[in-house]
Amino acid sequence: MGEVYKAEDTKLGRTVAIKVLPESANENLAAKRRFLKEAQSASALNHPNIVTIHAIEEAEGVDFIVMEYIDGQTLKAMIEREGALALANLLDVGTQVADALEAAHEIGLIHRDVKPANILVTPRGRAKVLDFGLAKIVRTVADNVDGEALTLMNLTDQGTVLGTAAYMSPEQTRGEGLDARSDIFSFGCVLYEAATRSLPFTGPTMLAIMHAIATSDPTPPGRLRPELPREFDLIIEKALAKEKERRYISVAEMAEALRSLRATLTGQWLGAPIVYDKDLIETRVSAFVGREPELKKLEAFLHQAIEGTGRVVFITGEPGIGKTSLSDEFLRRARTKYPALLVSRGRCVEQYGTGEAYLPFLEAIGALLDGPGRERLAATMRTYAPTWCTQLPAAFASSGTLDRLQQETIGATKERMMREG
């Protein structure tokens, strides 16, 4: 809510962020008083994972907040640009966000607008939660309900909340009184999206989204991204329980579950984010016809791979004949038949031309090296494709074999890489 500007504090010589409140809030005296009270509470928070509020100022009748400036991007932008987060990275960010929410809950402050757009992540992986208190600048609806919970009236305001509606708790959509467990539900939605690149609750309208939140259970993240452990599915399932009594008692309890799962992961390399295409996950709307012979042949190749005699298969042809549609349909069927199948995609860059055709393979292999089969894949690559290993130094540096691999592959060419692939 509002506009944010990068500015310089000339008195202290520091860079700050200034958030100017929207005109509608400045014209509503009750909302301004509520905002000032909540901003004062937020300014009392002193936590490394919460954006610090330096001051609440007023100039020419306009209220604004002076905040700590963070060099980073929102979690929302990170997911949209880079894809689903690697599991270790996701758990590290999630634990920091949980710690921030717990610090707020300890002083009785509920965020009410936990979403990826309100979480900043620095290049070094530090997570910062922002907009404490601002989420409560809404019109009251009645004395016997939570007057600061977002309601249907607020959801129709221009520019507000298609983004926010998808993260609301069931009790929040009904305008009921909220406690810390509402933030836990919203936080569960955030983790779900960061893990799968898709929202747990969707719909064509805000009413449809709210109905889904109240009545439907989302697909477990592990079904959308098979390498996610069952423990992660259970964390999300508990956080997204419809009845708040069935959720975690506190964010601290949820943070402990995230830390426990993080401690079970081996290896230090966090890996690159993975782009998971939603159309490969959801059931298709229309039937796919006309390519059964090709699909049967691809399914036979997959069966050979499962039996241990796999091969590299290329789908070739002129542009526009349906190669992508054919591969997408094959992947849909394969994921349905084999839920544990790992799918990783590498992206082609047309500007590189055919001379750099191996780059998509590097990207796909790099993503797989962050999954549960990392050690087995790494061992196979060291034996059969040492040149490829040198192109992924972060994945092999911990093994102590990188120097040897580099010596063995001096003078290697792209042609050799293609032969090894």
Query: From residue 381, how far is each of 10, 218, 388 by CA, in Å?
Result: 56, 37, 7
Q: ∠ at Cα 131 (1, 238), nearest 5°?
A: 110
Residue 238's closest CA among 253, 228, 248, 230? 248
Indicate whether 14 belongs to any domain: yes
Containing structural domain, residue 258: 73-263
- The more confidently predicted of residues 328 and 401 is 328
Indicate whether 231 belongs to any domain: yes
What are the backbone dihedrals phi and psi of residue 53, each rounded to the nearest 5 degrees, phi first? -95, 115
Residue 354: band (very low, low, confident or very high) from pLDDT cuts 50, 70, 90:
low
Please indicate, yes or no, whether residues 100 and 206 belong to a single structural domain of this protein: yes
What are the backbone dihedrals phi and psi of residue 353, each rounded to the nearest 5 degrees, phi first? 75, -170
pLDDT of residue 396: 62
Domain boundary among 263, 293, 319: 263
Whether residue 147 has pLDDT greater than 80: no
- The more confidently predicted of residues 235 and 328 is 235
Indicate whether 270 belongs to any domain: no
Please indicate, yes or no, whether residues 254 and 239 belong to a single structural domain of this protein: yes
What are the backbone dihedrals phi and psi of residue 55, each rounded to the nearest 5 degrees, phi first? -165, 155
Alpha-carbon distance of 219 to 22, in angstroms, equals: 37
Please indicate, yes or no, whether residues 56 and 117 belong to a single structural domain of this protein: no
Cα-Cα-Cα-Cα dihedral of 26, 30, 36, 39, to 10°? Answer: -100
Please indicate, yes or no, whether residues 41 and 104 belong to a single structural domain of this protein: no
Please indicate, yes or no, whether residues 403 and 312 belong to a single structural domain of this protein: yes
pLDDT of residue 38: 63
Please indicate, yes or no, whether residues 235 and 101 belong to a single structural domain of this protein: yes
Residue 401: band (very low, low, confident or very high) from pLDDT cuts 50, 70, 90:
very low
Please indicate, yes or no, whether residues 53 and 78 belong to a single structural domain of this protein: no
| Averaged confidence pLDDT in the chain | 77
Domain boundary among 16, 37, 68: 68
What are the backbone dihedrals phi and psi of residue 388, each rounded to the nearest 5 degrees, phi first? -65, -35
pLDDT of residue 279: 46
Domain boundary among 68, 96, 111: 68
Q: How many domains does the chain have?
A: 3
CATH classification of the domain holding 43: 3.30.200.20
Please indicate, yes or no, whether residues 289 and 148 belong to a single structural domain of this protein: no
Whether residue 281 has pLDDT greater than 60: no
Structure tokens at 192: 């779900």
Secondary structure tally for the chain: helices H, strands E? 20, 7
Indicate whether 55 belongs to any domain: yes
Instruction: Evaluate whether 369 touches 398 at the Cβ level (below 8 Å).
Output: no
Indicate whether 178 belongs to any domain: yes
Whether residue 376 has pLDDT greater than 80: no
Q: What's the first-to-final CA gap in the chain, in angstroms?
A: 50
How many residues comprise the chain?
Answer: 421
Alpha-carbon distance of 68 to 45, in angstroms, equals: 13
CATH classification of the domain holding 161: 1.10.510.10
Most distant CA atoms of the chain, gap in Å = 76
- Tell me the per-residue pLDDT of 173-225, one tens digit each, with 9 for 90 and over: 888 888 999 999 999 999 999 999 999 998 877 888 888 999 999 999 988 88
Catalytic residue ranges: 113
